[in-house]
Structure 1
Amino acid sequence: MSRTSNLVIKLTCGLEAPERVSQAFSVASAALASGIHVSFWLTGDAAYFAL
C-alpha cells in the first residue's frame, strides 16, 4: 500500500518579512522536489502573493 505525503504551509507575512517568505517557499520547493504534495495557506499580507 502506497502512502501519499502532504504538506500544508501557512504563510501570514508579506514583503515586510522577506526572510520568512523565503523560508516558506524554500521549504515548499524542497518538499516538491522530494515528491510531497504541497498546499499553501495564504492569510493576511501573504494573500498578495496569489495575485
Structure 2
Amino acid sequence: MINNILKSRLQCQTTNKGFTLVEVLIALFIGSLIFGVLYASFFQIIKSKEI
C-alpha cells in the first residue's frame, strides 16, 4: 500500500515534461540579445572595411 502511494507520487512528479511560458520567454529574450549583438557586430565589421 505504501509502496503504491510512493510510486504514484513519483509518477506525478516525473510526468511534468516541457517548458513553462516563463522559461520560453527567457530563452527568447536571451536569444534575441545574442542575435542582436551578432547582427550589430557583423555590420560594424562590414562598415569598417568599407572605409
The structure that is strand-richer by fraction is 1
**TM above 0.5:** no
Greater Cα radius of gyration, structure 1 or 2 = 2
Higher relative contact order (CA 8 A, sep 6+): 1
Please, what TM-score do these two structures have when normalized by structure 2?
Answer: 0.38
Please, what TM-score do these two structures have when normalized by structure 1?
Answer: 0.38
